[in-house]
Structure 1
Amino acid sequence: MLPIVAWINLAAGLIAAAVAISEEMFALSFGLAVAALTLFAVLQALDRIVGQLKSINYHLKRK
């Protein structure tokens, strides 16, 4: 679920940045692109953390 949200957010953020650059709002465009990439990285990291926690939980329940 998180990877889908991450990719959708990245696409939306980059589209917003492209719209801002077409309106010649370069600072806003840069900020939107950085925010989109940062949030994408955070959501991807959270997905990996959740996967690791599920794996740990599975192995603890097996014993």
Structure 2
Amino acid sequence: MGIVIFSADYKTNVLNSDGSSNVVYDVSGKSSSLYLTDYQFYARYQNTGAVVSGVVTSNVLVDVSYE
């Protein structure tokens, strides 16, 4: 069991299968009041293998960098 994070704007998986991200919010040419805002994401559980009984523990870290 794993957690998949999706961009609410693009309706796509935020992480590629190798763990890298390909969701980019282009803020070039926008004033700070337009790009310093909330960006919505949602998460869901996704089966990543055979299901067996046991405890499910999940941690999610969303890391943001500005260039």
TM-score, structure 2 normalization: 0.30
> Larger relative CO (CA 8 A, sep 6+): 1 or 2?
2
| Structure with more of its chain in helix, by fraction | 1
Mark the structure with the bigger radius of gyration. Answer: 1
| Structure with more of its chain in strand, by fraction | 2
